[in-house]
A = this chain, B = another copy of it.
Amino acid sequence: MLTVIKCGGGAGQDPVHVSPDVAALTARGDRVLVLHGGSASVDHLAGRLGVPQRRLCTPSGTSSRYTDPATLEVLLLALAGQVKPMLLADLHRHGVAAIGLTGIDVGVLQARRRSVHTAELDGRRVVVRDDQTGTLTAVRTGPLHALMDAGLVPVLSPPAIAEDGLPVNVDADRAAAAVAVALGAENLIFLTGAPGLLADPDDETTVLAEHRLTDGGSRIAGGMAVKLKAAEVALRGGVGQVLIADGRVQGPVLRALGGLS
């Protein structure tokens, strides 16, 4: 039984809540891989370093972090040098043998570098040449299996590595889905800063009991739309179940899985 847990990223969401659950799952012999983001840490560190954070928008309304070279540097600092060590130390305190990786380690997350494109930046349509972003093309499963065979819990995060051998940012939700598919995971759990999938993102009482991937004209947008897309990719790729769950509670993983059963 392999469970991929996507956590971290949203403000107000403490990624270390996952440690007791990871300890419980591994204690019963399950395999676990944690994939984390850390947008709030990136934003905070960017502020301290005076690196402005901007978003690239498309006419269709989606937006993504404008990962210029200075932002990529901050992203690596925050994810690999701050979020991940905190998570690893917490897992260690809970007795979990965890090992941290970004997509650069052993080239685990391989991406195609995004080519020159146009987008809306600060309300103006511009040619973007220096966006250090990519689309995942492959997950190297061999090293991940080897780590798990050795009883270790991989703690993975962006960036990925591009065909030119340089790091590029990739979406962490999509990466979680790609990793879950590549490893043939039974469970993929997205821990979010919301109680579940909301019909109205501003109203936490509107949790949807059911959402069909084929539902057209959905009001669901932003980060949750990306999670839904990633969930769809994972399900179509053979992942047993995908759960989108509240990451702000104690024991969020076991709760989503319905207990240790």
Residues on A facing B (Cβ under 8 Å): 45, 48-49, 73, 76-82, 84-85, 88-89, 92-93, 97-102, 104-107, 143, 146-147, 149-152, 161, 165-167
Q: Of the candidates B93, B104, B147, which one forms a contact with A88 in the assembled complex, judged by CB atoms under 8 Å apart? A: B104
Report how far A150 CA is from B82 CA in the complex, Å.
27
Residues on the B chain within 8 Å of A79, using CB: 81
- Given the interface contacts A101-B99, A106-B99, A143-B97, does A166 sit within 8 Å of B81 by beta carbon? no
- Given the interface contacts A48-B49, A92-B165, A107-B92, does A102 sit within 8 Å of B77 by beta carbon? no
Q: How many copies does the complex hold?
A: 2
Nearest chain-B residue to A151 (Cβ)? Answer: B146
Residues on the B chain within 8 Å of A49, using CB: 48-49
Residues on the B chain within 8 Å of A81, using CB: 76-82
Report how far A98 CA is from B103 CA in the complex, Å.
11
What's the minimum C-beta distance from A89 to chain B, rounded to whole angstroms? 5
Residues on the B chain within 8 Å of A147, using CB: 147, 150
Whether B105 pairs with A98 at a CB distance below 8 angstroms is yes
Nearest chain-B residue to A75 (Cβ)? Answer: B81
Report how far A92 CA is from B107 CA in the complex, Å.
7
